[in-house]
Amino acid sequence: MGRLGPTEIILILVVIILLFGAKKLPDMARSLGKSARILKSEAKAMKDENKSSAPADPPTPGEQPPAQRTIQAAPGDVTSSRPVTEPTDTTKR
């Protein structure tokens, strides 16, 4: 009880394919991979910050706050920057 055999795993995969469709599964896997990479890089950045940061004094009133970091897409990631054709207005007055 509680163990999944090969038959149950195959049945679960078939149900997933039927629910989400074969076309959406690669996109879902790709976004899951992106999320995992972002999470990993953020965890590494937090670990590096903790190692390098010493207890800081509170900022003085004239001091600038630290700049915020931005998260960039992985190299070669073009799924979010596809060219889109603008609809044209065919009605003329």
Number of Cβ within 10 Å of residue 37's Cβ equals: 14
pLDDT tens profile 13-37: 888 888 888 788 888 889 999 999 9
Structural domain that includes position 35: 6-52
- Sign of the dihedral through C-alpha 21, 83, 78, 76: positive
* 80: in domain: no
Q: 91: pLDDT confidence band, cut at 50, 70 and 90? A: confident
The model's pTM: 0.39
* 62: in domain: no
For the record, the structure tokens of 72 come out as: 């960039």
* 35: in domain: yes
Q: Which pLDDT does position 80 carry in this prediction?
A: 53
* 66: in domain: no
* 20: in domain: yes
Question: To the nearest whole percent, how much of the chain has pLDDT over 70?
Answer: 57
- Rounded Cα distance between 74 and 72, Å, is 7
Mean pLDDT value of segment 65-79: 61
* 78: in domain: no
Number of Cβ within 10 Å of residue 19's Cβ equals: 8
* 75: in domain: no
Q: Which pLDDT does position 31 carry in this prediction?
A: 92
* 26: in domain: yes
For the chain, how many structural domains are there in total?
1
Mean pLDDT value of segment 70-88: 58
- As a whole number of Å, the CA-based R_g of the chain is 24
